[in-house]
Amino acid sequence: MKAKLLLLILLAVKITFVNAQMDDKFYFPKKDIRLNEWKNTTELNFNVEKDTINTVFLKPEQKPKATIFLFHGAGGNISYYYPIAIRLVKADFQVVMVDFRGYGKSTGVPTHKNIAEDGKLVFDEYSKMPEIKKLPIIIYGLSIGTQIATHIAKENQNKIKGLILEGGMSSFGDIAGFYAPQYKDFLEKSFVNPYSSKEDIKSINKVPKLIIHSSEDKEVPIEQSKVVFNNASEPKEFMEVKGEHMQGTASEGPKIIEKINYMLKKN
C-alpha cells in the first residue's frame, strides 16, 4: 500500500513538473530602462490578450540594407541589448526588438508559450510595413531568444534571407539539464519541450544559417549550439568566438557583419 501511494505521489509530481515546464526558472525580466544613445528610434506597442507588448525600431543614418529582427535573452529587457543592436544599426541594418511579456515596458508574465506568441505577432505585424516589406529580412536570436528565432524562421522560410543564432541552447530541457545535472536523465526523459531549436532547425531548408558561440561561455555551453548546428542542413556556418555570453558582436563585430552581408549577397 505504501509503495503504491509513493508511486502515485511520484507520478503526480512528475506530471506537475512536466506540465509546469518550470517557466519561472527560465525568465529574468527587468523593468528598469537603460539609456538608448541611438536617436533614430521609434516605439510601437501591440495589444495581446490583456497585455501590451512593447517594441523598438532602430533605423540607420544611411539607407538600410536589410531588417534584422533581434530577439533578446532571458535577462534584462530591450534596453540591456542596445549595444548589440546599435552595432548592427551602425553597419546600416535597421533593427526590430521586442520585449516579451513581463520585460521592460511590456506587461504580463513570460512563459514558453506566450513569448513564442509575442515573437510571432511582432514579426507578422512588422513584416507588413512598407519599410520592412521592401527589404531583405534576417532573424537574429540571442541565448533563449534563439528558441524563438528558430521557431519563427521555420514558419517563415520564404520571407527571410538568413538566420543567426548566438549563445543558444539546444532546448529548454537541455539547458535545464545543464543547470541541474543531478536530474539530467529525468529531464531528458520527462521534460516536454513546447518547441526547440535543435528540432525546428531540421525543417529549415535553403535558408543560410550562422551559429555563433563563445568557447568561454559559462552560461550556456558551446556544445548546445553544436547540437543545433549538426542538426541543421546546408547552407550553414559555425563561428566560434571568445568572451562572455552573447558578446560576439563586441569581440568579433566586423566579422559577423561581414558574414551577414555575405548572407544577403548569397540570396
CB atoms within 10 A of CB 82: 20
Residue 29: CA count within 13 A, CB half-sphere: 19
Class of the CATH-defined domain 42-266: alpha beta
pLDDT of residue 235: 96
Give the pLDDT of the chain (267 residues) as one tens digit per residue. Answer: 334 433 333 333 444 444 445 666 789 999 999 999 999 999 999 999 999 999 999 999 999 999 999 999 999 999 999 999 999 999 999 999 999 999 999 999 999 999 999 999 999 999 999 999 999 999 999 999 999 999 999 999 999 999 999 999 999 888 888 888 877 777 666 667 789 999 999 999 999 999 999 999 999 999 999 999 999 999 999 999 999 999 999 999 999 999 999 999 876
- pLDDT value of residue 186: 72
Distance CA 230, CA 227 (A): 5
Residue-level pLDDT at 178:
87
Burial of 12-36, coded b for 16+ CB within 10 Å and e otherwise, reads eeeeeebeebebeebbebeeeeeee
Q: DSSP per residue over 197-229, as a string? A: HHHHGGG--SS-EEEEEETT-SSS-HHHHHHHH
